[in-house]
Every structure is written in structure tokens, then in C-alpha cells.
Structure 1
């Protein structure tokens, strides 16, 4: 098979590169044609004799070169080589024009034969080696014919010197054609390798970006100054920043909740080793996020003064949720079976105790039956709670649309009902601030969550006015939240870590299922519940207390209740 030309390879690998080479040569032809026309025009302006046919011929060459430059396109035949029409319109026209100018010029003051090197270069760069050498041979033969014409018209001096000069020029054409063609082939091969390498690098970069963007774990790249060079959407979500900000840089020292991340990054740079820690990202008015962070340092390359710290962020809530799922999957079946087995004898004990209580008149014996009844009721409540957490949740209603309630009205109703059960002890201060915005939550489930939180608050509150406070408010992102606060003492660290785990309680008479059920009910409705130590105003003083915050999923705009007011963030 005939070896392809450099232009053919350029056309396959990079059509734009072929176009640049082609337009470069066409621009050179236009420049040379314009220079020749201007030269003859200047000679005419200086008073020298210039044939009108010479000016007309030069103008025609300029028009031809300009038309090809403006309207022509780099074209190839089906074999991948420049077409015959291309060679005739460029190499053929240039050879004809330059040789004609050499014949038409008078006095021998101008030598146009060096311009015959342009067709040789054009063929060497855009054509095959055979075409390049053939063009060099044709230009050499044309030089010899011009010399013969000079001898025939008796305008030449030394014949040997004249033929020697043409032979040396022709030899230079051959050498230039061969070397330029070899150089063009080599450059084209290097360009193909560079292009393939660039394509592979771009493909690898796109794959890496796709993998990093779709990772559920956060990836954060931090420099020594604490500036985040890059962060994927998962990392921005864990950091609590707006994911729509794209690739805008983040300064870890700009938010108090990120200072722990900054300290871990600085420790990584100082010790130049991998670090791992569980930190808490806390923002004002939001639930804290517990994140497990692993750091790695990149190797410093030549020309780079500093290394980078890559931080991998994993949400501990997901890890704990998986552990809870595995734990409850094993414990749920056993708990449900045990609860069913306990329910039947417990009902018999309760019934027998009630029958026995009817026949007893001794106060001491009646106290014993009362004790049995209270403990039986306690056991019945524990059995009901165990069966509740083991039962598969079923959404009420036949439609797929989620249940919606107006948070302010529901919270106000539950708080009033809860207070009326014991008005002397159950005093709660309620503040409603969601302006009637609905939330996706089952009303019975919300009642159970709020009652459990109020019961916990009542257990540890001080009994003063404003010791228990319930607030509903809108967060800056128009997300509704519910806050239950009490002025109880701070929890121990060991208790706080296992606060929402099942069967864990700091009191011996508690089943340890209340807060666990609250979290399960919130997760069923894609809400979240969290605990934090918070400061509230009571009687004009700032008082520390325990706060449980529930953040609800905002309803879809199409399901919002029609209202004629503007909702302002609180």
C-alpha cells in the first residue's frame, strides 16, 4: 500500500490542524502575489518601463490566489491524499506563473526562479514523498528549460555556470523536499501521539470527575492555608454549604463548625501522616452532623511548593443506620416473638389481679394488688412499644401522596392536651413561627414524638416558669423545624452517644425505647431528630438546657396549602 501523506494523517486525527497548514500556505501564496504586484506597480510609479500585460498577469495571479484562499477548502480524495485538482490549482499554477514571470521580465533585473521553491515546500508538507520528489524534479526541469530559453534568446553569458547554478538549485529542491517531508511526517506522528495522550488524559479526567461527583462519601481537597481547592456535592452537603455554589473555594476558617476540619488538616500537614477522627459539624440553628474524617497527603511534584491534603468525609448517621438495621434485623424477630409470648400470661395476671382485688378488703393486701396492677401496666406498655418498633410501618390512606399537617396547629393542640392532663406540673411555653406552612408527617406519629419529648423534658426540668419551651420556626432554607427545650442538667458524654439507641436508658424504670421510637418515626417521614446543648432566654436571662430539634422535609410546591401571605425566614 502507498504510504499516506502527512496531510492525510492530519485530516484523520485533527481536521483543524490540516486546515491551519492549508490556510498557511494559501496565505503565503496571496502574500507573494501581492508583493509581486506591488513591486511592479512601484517600478511603474518610478518611471521604469513595465508591460501592461505584466501588471495584468500579476493581478490575475493575485485574484486566483485570493479566491482560493477565501473560497477554497482543504479537500482529499477517497484514498486519503490531496486531490489532483488541488495540485493543479496550487503547484501547477505557481509553476506556470513563476516561470512565465521569469520569461516576461525584461533586463534580467529580477530573478523569479527562487519562488519555485514554494510549490516544492507545499508538496513536501501536504503530499506523499513521491509527490514531493516529483515536484522537485519538475521544478528542476523547469529551471533547465528556462536556462535553455535564455541561451536561445542570447541573453545568457557563461553556459556552464548557468547550468551549474540550475543544477545546484535543483539539488537543493530535492534535499529540501526530502527533509521537509521527513520532518512533516515526524511532526505529524508526534502530534498524533500527543493527541492520543491528551484524549486518554481527558477521558481519565472525566471518569475521575464522574466517580468523585457520584460518591456518597465527601471528598475535600485542602491546601496548607485552609482553603478547599475542590469539594464534591457530598462534601458540600456534609459541610452544610449550598451545593449550587459549584466549584467556588471554601475557607475552613470562615465557619465555626468547620474549625475541627481545619485543625485536622493542619495536623496532617504538621505530622505529614494520615489522620482519622470523628468530628461534629455544628451550625447555628441546624442539627449537628457527626462525620468520620480520614486524611491523606498528596506527594509534592516538581515545581509545586506545597502538598495537598485530601479529606474523605463519611456521615456517621448512615453508618449507624446500617448498624441499627443489622442489629434490629436480628433482634426484631426475637423481640416480637418474646413480646407475643409475654402478652398472653400478662393478660391472665392482670385479669386475675383484678378479680382478686374485688374480693380483698384488707388495705395492706389492696396495696399489694395495686402494685401488681401498676407493674403489669408497665409491662404491657413495654410489650406494646416492642411490638410497635417491630411492626412494618403502613402509611394510612390509599393514595401515594404523603400526609400533610399544619405544624403550628398540630403542635399547639398536642401541647394543650398534654398540659391539661396535669396542669399543676405540666407547664409548657409555646412559640409558633411557621406561619401555617404544612409539613409531610402523620398527625398521630407527630403526637407520639412530641409527647415523648415532653415527657423526657418533664422528667429533668427544674419546675420554674419557662422550664419547658416548645418552638416551631422556619430555617433560612424554608425548612420547618420543631424544638423542645428544657432547663435540665447536661447529659453525660456516655449517655449522649447512645441517646437514640433502643433499650438504652439512664433510669432503671425506663424501657429505653422512647427516643428510639421518635427517631424511627421521624425517619419514616424523611425528617431528622437531633440533640444539642442550647441556650434559651428565660425571664430575661440566658439559661443552658437540653434541646431536641426535629427538622421536617419541606413539602413539594404543588402540594402546598393555598395561602395569601408571604413566608419570611425566621
Structure 2
């Protein structure tokens, strides 16, 4: 209307425009329309940028969450992250294995004790022991963040793992020490053996003396015992040097049995074999397997009644591509008070034992991805061997 009035040159023809109230209302309405359009455009741009920022933040969150979960899974300890309300925010698979009921957003079974100590120790790291019917564990709690969104990271380790690690460190140091001692002991032991041989030759050349003969026998017995201990220590230090290969257990057993009977001729007819399955095989170091079986067969023979069939050896397939060998005898079995010490180094009930036989045997089994254990119900030792390369 304004444009037409300007073209005609006569504004009187347009009474709506000449009316100031109507004109101002029209102007305000038009301006408001343009302002609404501008505001809408700006709002759309802001919402679009906010949406893009939200998408970027969500992607970054997913990446950080995935990275955090990957890092948590690589941590050797069980890790649980809880908030101020005691709800689980994040955890790894090891924590899930220890606490099957653990879920994101739900209260953790161990959060009550942590929350109580958190209030008194915050913001400092603190430790406490969790004692439950099924688990006894040490927990190290590390507070992170500040304010209402603060979190608490719980590093959980069962006491059994802590004790096993301490024992491993102790045995590693002991192994290094014993290896050095074994090297240093061999030279004087050779000299003692040589001197004993010379003494025996001198006795044979002169008049027989029963007392001196008894002394020579004592020296021989102790020298042999120390030699056996040094041999076990040397085998223990070589447990990481495995040369595994596929072994047919039937021919291996026949060869081993012949060797064992050469050293124990009285055991002929006393060993009974029960072979289950067709042509069982194992992927193992042959020398290590021979040493483990020799130790188990010796133990069975020593504790058996030494009658026909006193020693029973069973070879059978097991689960998850493994085969197991069971050594049993007709003796009384291992007493309950001795079972928990069976695989401890230098623990023995034999008069002339070194206490390293079973310990070295289990270490060699573990080095070849196998296992050696005692089954109290069946009163036998079970050697588990992998059938395939692992």
C-alpha cells in the first residue's frame, strides 16, 4: 500500500495508510514478523550447534568409556568405581567375577564399608579389609574429583592372590639364592666324594674296620641326598626353558615303565595301567613329563604295600582339550594335616627327602600349561596335560 501510494503520488487514496494508528500497528506487526523470523533463525542455528556439540560430546564419552573399560580390563586387580550414593559407576570383568551381583547403577555389596571410611579419610587414599562369607579381600580406595560428583575407585585383591604373590616373590629370591648356592656347593661336594672314595680304597687295602665302613656309608648317603637336592634346584631354575612337542602317551608310558623298573626291579607286576581313549596325546616337554612321572611313581611306590597291582595309573581324556594321568596306590593316602603342605618347597615327611620333588613337579607342569594336584576323595595325584599347543 505504501509503495502504491508513492507511485500514485496521492496518499489520500489510501485511508489505511494515512491513519497513524493503523500505520504504526502495521509497522509493529511487520517488524515483529521479521524479528520472529530472525529469532527463529538464530535459535535454529544455536540448537543445531548445540546438537552437534552434544553429538561430539556423546562420541567423546563413548570413546573415553571404551578406553577406560579397556584399561580397567588390563588392570591385574578387580576395580569398582562408586559414587557418593554407593552406586556402581564402572567395573571390570575381574570385579564381576568376584561379585556376580554387581550391576551399573546398583548399590555394590562392598560400598557401605567404603562409604563410612570415605567420609573420615576423604580426600586421602585409604585401605581396609573386606571379610564376607565367600571372600576375604584387601581393598585400596582412591578418591577422585571433588564436590557432589566425586567418585571412589576401589582396587580389590583377594587375600589368596596377595599371599600367592608374596610367596612368588619369596620363591623367586629363594630360587636365585639356591641357584648360586648350588653352583658353589658342587665343588666341595666333589672333593668330599673323592676323599670318601680314597678312604674306602685305603680301608679295602688294609684291615677291615666296621666303624670306618659305617662312616663311609653315612657320607655316601648324605652326598647322594645333597646331589638330589642340587638336581631338583637345577630343574626348578630351568622350568621356563620348555621344548614342547606332541607326545604319544602309550609309547611314552611303555618307555617310562621300563626305565622305572630298571631302578625299582621289585615293582615288576605291581604297576597296573588303565588306558581310556584311543591313542591319547599330550603337547608337553618330554623331559619335564618324564621327571614329573618319575616323582609321582616314586611316591606311589614308597607309600604302597608293594603287592601286585599296588600302583594304579589311569590315562584318560579330560575336558577342554586336555588329558589327565592319575597316580594312585593302595597305601593310606595323604593325611589331611599334610595335604595343605604337599606342594610347599622343602616340606617333606620322608626321612631322606628333600621336600622339592612335588614342588618342582608342579612348577614344571605349570610351565607347560598343565597342572598337578592331589584329589583327597580318590586318594591320588592328578596330572593334567594339554593335548594341543596353547
Instruction: Give me the TM-score of the superposition, normalised by structure 2.
Output: 0.68
- Given candidates 312, 331, 342, the residue that maps to 2:189 is 342
Corresponding residue for residue 170 of structure 1? 30
How has the CA–CA distance of structure 1 residues 406 and 533 changed in structure 2, closer, same or farther, with 3 Å as cutoff? same
What is the aligned counterpart of 2:179 among 322, 329, 332? Answer: 332
How many Å apart are 1:506 and its aligned residue?
A: 3.3
Q: 1:221, 1:311 within 8 Å by CA — same for their partners in 2?
A: no
SS of equivalent residue, structure 2 residue 256: helix
Residue pairs, 1:155-234, within 5 angstroms = 158-159=16-17, 160=19, 163-164=23-24, 166-184=26-44, 186-188=46-48, 190-191=50-51, 193-218=53-78, 232=93
Counterparts of 1:164-563 in structure 2 under 5 Å?
164=24, 166-184=26-44, 186-188=46-48, 190-191=50-51, 193-218=53-78, 232=93, 268=110, 275-276=129-130, 293-294=137-138, 312=157, 315=161, 320-357=167-204, 359-361=206-208, 366-367=213-214, 369-390=216-237, 402-415=244-257, 417-418=259-260, 421-423=264-266, 427-433=270-276, 435-461=278-304, 468-486=311-329, 488-491=332-335, 495-524=338-367, 526-536=368-378, 545=379, 547-556=380-389
| Contact 2:78-2:157 within 8 A present in 1 as well | yes
Deviation at 1:269, TM superposition (A): 6.6
Structure 1 CA distance, aligned partners of 2:387 and 2:155? 33
Structure-2 separation of matches of 1:165 and 1:359: 144
* 1:144-159 correspondence runs (5 A): 144-145=2-3, 158-159=16-17
Distance between the aligned counterparts of 2:277 and 2:174, measured in 1?
Answer: 37
Q: Is the CA contact (8 Å cut-off) linking 2:321 and 2:386 kept in structure 1?
A: no
Q: Is the 8 A contact 1:408 1:433 kept in 2?
A: no
User: Contact 1:218–1:235 (CA<8 Å) still a contact in 2?
Assistant: yes
| TM-superposition CA deviations, 1:246-266 (whole Å, max 9, x none) | xxx9679xxxxxxxxxxxx96
Unaligned runs of 5+ in 1: 1-142, 223-228, 240-248, 253-264, 281-290, 300-306, 397-401, 537-544, 558-570
1:174-230, Cα deviation, whole Å (9 max, x unpaired) = 3313433453454355445534543442232122111023234455899xxxxxx97
- Report how many residues are paired: 351
Please report how far the alpha carbon of residue 388 of structure 1 lies from its aligned counterpart in structure 2 after TM superposition. Answer: 4.4
Secondary structure, aligned partner of 1:470: strand
Q: Could you list the per-position Cα deviations for residues 441-469 of structure 1 after superposition, in whole angstroms to 9, with x for gaps in the alignment?
A: 23333222111112223334466776543
- Specify which structure has the bigger relative contact order, considering alpha-carbon pairs within 8 angstroms and separated by 6 or more residues: 2
Alignment RMSD (CA, Å): 4.7
Structure 2 residue matching 1:531: 3-state secondary structure? strand
Report how far residue 346 of structure 1 moved: 2.2
Name the CA distance, whole Å, in 1 between partners of 2:371 and 2:206.
Answer: 49
Task: Summarize deviations over 1:283-325 as a string: whole Å, max 9, x none.
Answer: xxxxxxxx984458999xxxxxxx9998556856566444322
3-state SS of 2:347 partner = coil
Give the SS at the match of 1:344: helix
Q: 1:343 and 1:150, CA in 2 relative to 1: closer, same or farther beyond 3 A?
A: farther
Partner of 2:120: none
Whether the aligned pair in 2 keeps the contact of 1:503 and 1:512 (CA below 8 Å) is yes
- Greater Rg over alpha carbons, structure: 1
CA distance in 2, matches of 1:374, 1:390: 25
SS at match of 2:377: strand
**In 2, Cα distance between equivalents of 1:363 and 1:382:** 29
Residues 41-80 of structure 1 aligned to structure 2 (within 5 Å): none
